[in-house]
Chain A
């Protein structure tokens, strides 16, 4: 695995995961908080900025507008990025576990 992309920030990672289903800003916020058991609380301004740049990168796109709440969904490119990131995290996790377990023995 080569270093094609910079690692995702936690916020961007959770935003992308949240958008495997169409969600609006508040939905993303709740998703991240629930998935992380309350650890990751994304600020509204942070989500707004991240959505803007992810749309520009074509990792996510607008889904449909219901009234004033705009929903977004992940694109195929976005899914590729998530898969790449999960593989990277897996490598980090396995290597970390490996070193920790060796210490225990």
Chain B
């Protein structure tokens, strides 16, 4: 068993990292924000997917399980699932329509986090700049900076997902699937 302490804002980067670990013979067992636990095993035995779950989380996961997808672990609205690579490529969304719908939900998630953190950053930093000599002033300052960091980090996955969705939508004008 091997532990890693790290975190991701971009779920696709997280998924790539988990799959690289799999190629190196480390298979994900448990994932929490800042914490990942891996089991040692056959290199490349599994393909992993990190999924943002729809409203009916349990029903969705049961459905995935009934099609032979293994649910490794879940956290809040996210699940980590895998399939043996011997079974061939593993994608949860196979056509434009469902991919666009999925990206749309991801964009809404990123966007709401982006706006929430932006408001936190602006309000905390302005409190820090305007208040004089109060004891909590520094706390506001640091919270504001942290939110600002999250805002900056969210920008890239937000824009990336948006472009991906846009490209799919454009293609859909020619190929209907």
Contacts from A to B (Cβ < 8 Å): 7, 9-11, 24-26, 29, 41-50, 68-70
Contact = CB atoms under 8 A, between A and B. Distances in A.
Contacts of B135: none
A9 B97 CA distance: 9
B69 interface: yes
Contacts of A44: 63-64, 67, 69, 92
Interface string B94-126: 110110011000000000000000000000000
B131 interface: no
A29 to B, nearest CB: 6
Interface residues of B, number: 24
Contact of A9 (B62, B65, B95): B95
A45 to B, nearest CB: 4
Contacts of A41: 88-89, 91, 94
Most chain B CB inside 10 Å of its own CB: which residue of A7, A43, A50: A43
Contacts of A24: 66
B13 to A, nearest CB: 20
